[in-house]
Amino acid sequence: MLSTLHNLSSLYHSITHLQHSFHTFREEMAPSPYDRAGETVEFLRQKLPESLAQPRVAVVCGSGLGGLAETVNEGVRETWEYKDVPNFPISTVAGHAGKLIFGTMGPQSNPVPVVLLVGRAHFYEGHSMEAATFATRVCKLLGVETIILTNAAGGLNPEYNVGDVVCLNDHLNLAGLVGEHPLRGPNDDKFGPRFPPLSDAYDIVLRQLAHKAWKEIRQQDASQRRMHEGVYAFVSGPTYETRAECRMLRNLGADVVGMSTVPEIVVARHAGMRVLAFSLVTNSAVLEPTVRADAPELQGLSREQLDEYLSRGKANHEEVLDAGKQAAVDMQSLVLRIVSEL
């Protein structure tokens, strides 16, 4: 009996060793992120006209903000579905069309070559951090110098209203702090250094341009939509945050919370790109503690009445998309004015 157990134990350890060796071999043989991004860039450049082959600016369109594609000038433009581009991860989320658009923005006298990413891959969809940030690395190898990222976010700051725009000036990378970091693993020096500083990741000159552009927009529009500067908390999702989590994030200094953008910012700064990012506040996070079951005001309510009471203020994806549609024109004007200044 002891001999049999010993043999089984030896067999188990042998199999485990083989599995580890195979996994290590597969990782060593797999193309590096740099090589995979280079392959994608080569594919795109073979098909792009020379005038669009080296975009200076990339714009990432977040949930419900695909209308930013309307800022691309009429005329010469190239569009690809993500599924038709080698190595590109596919987004499966409503409001993320999954398209690459190459074109120009700004005045015809001095157009700026751009690439728009209409939709992004998210970590919560099952993509690795490497896959979720792959498009950012492709942008770097295409020649992009400045990347402008947009997202839909929940408002934690009680002074923010639904529909307000937040120009990000810092972030909390909650997933990164617990090990799900886009730069985890061997560093590729061809992209950037092992330990990139992120204390000032959000370019201050670009933020100044954003405030200047917003002031011009407000002078032409009577809308009450405001622009703030604030801190974005990145959580992995896909669930929206609990009340306790919202209070924790607010106490940590976050003004908005969402499930994207920060991994892309980390990779963009690692690669030396200038970064500007905006959050559209699409819902106000519920900060009040959950109601006690023995609360007097709940006694005698039906199940339907209880559900209605508890649903007040809760986020849903349809609400996010609707807020994006309402703010689309202002966001388009904002991005167009900024790009025209670059």
Q: Which of 69, 105, 122, 132 is catalytic?
A: 122
Name the band, by pLDDT with cuts 50, 70 and 90, for residue 25: very low
Tell me whether residue 302 is in a domain. yes
Task: Write down the catalytic residue from 82, 96, 121, 327.
Answer: 96
Residue 17 annotated as catalytic: no
The residues with which 151 forms a beta bridge, in sequence order, are 279
Q: Where is average pLDDT lowest: 28-32, 69-73, 157-161?
A: 28-32
- Using alpha carbons, select from 112, 109, 218, 228 the residue that is nearest to residue 160: 228
Domain membership of residue 294 (yes or no) is: yes
Domain membership flag for residue 12:
no
Residue 11 lies in a domain: no
Examine the pLDDT at 57 and tell me if it is beyond 90: yes
What does the mean pLDDT of the chain come to? 87
Query: Which candidate in 87, 145, 180, 317 is catalytic?
Result: 317
Determine contact, residues 225/165, Cβ cutoff 8 Å. yes
Amino acid 158: pLDDT: 94
Judge whether 96 counts as a catalytic residue.
yes
Distances (CA, A) of 208 to 30, 111, 112, 141: 42, 21, 19, 27
Band of residue 230 on the pLDDT scale cut at 50, 70, 90? very high
Q: Is residue 174 part of a domain?
A: yes
Catalytic residue among 152, 153, 175, 213: 152
Per DSSP, the residues of 213-255 read HHHHHHHH------EEEEEEEE---SSPPPHHHHHHHHHTT-S
125 is catalytic: yes
Cα gap 324→64, rounded to integer Å? 5
Of 123, 122, 102, give the one whose Cα is nearest residue 113: 102
* Residue 13 falls in the annotated catalytic set: no
Give yes or no for a contact between 327 and 166, defined as CB atoms under 8 angstroms apart: no
> What's the total number of domains in the chain?
1
> For this structure, is 317 an active site residue?
yes
- pLDDT computed for residue 292 by the predictor: 78
Q: Which residues does residue 233 pair with via DSSP β-bridges, in sequence order?
A: 172, 257
Cβ-proximal residues to 215 (8 Å cutoff; 6+ apart), any chain = none
The Cα 122–Cα 120 span in angstroms is 6
Model confidence at 71, pLDDT cuts 50, 70, 90, reads confident
pTM higher than 0.75 for the full model?
A: yes
Q: HSE (CB half, 13 Å, CA atoms) of 248?
A: 9
Cα(227)–Cα(52) distance, integer angstroms: 32
> Which range (155-159, 230-234, 247-251, 312-316) has the least confidence?
312-316
CATH assignment of the domain containing 209: 3.40.50.1580
Strands 165-173, 274-284: parallel, antiparallel or unpaired by DSSP? antiparallel
Pairwise CA distance, residues 123 & 203, whole Å = 25
- Determine which one of 271, 279, 283, 315 is catalytic: 283
Classify residue 5: in a domain, yes or no. no
For 95, the domain range is 30-341
Residue 169 CB neighbour total at 10 angstroms: 18
Active site residue 28: no
**Given the residues 63, 91, 169, 279, the one annotated as active site:** 63
Least confident of 95-99, 121-125, 318-322, 334-338: 318-322
Which residue among 73, 124, 248, 284 is the active-site one? 124
Quick check: is 4 in a domain?
A: no
pLDDT band at 119 (very low <50, low <70, confident <90, very high): confident
In a domain, 15, yes or no: no
| β-bridge mates for residue 114, sequence order | 57, 103
What is d(CA 50, CA 64) in angstroms, rounded to the nearest whole number? Answer: 31
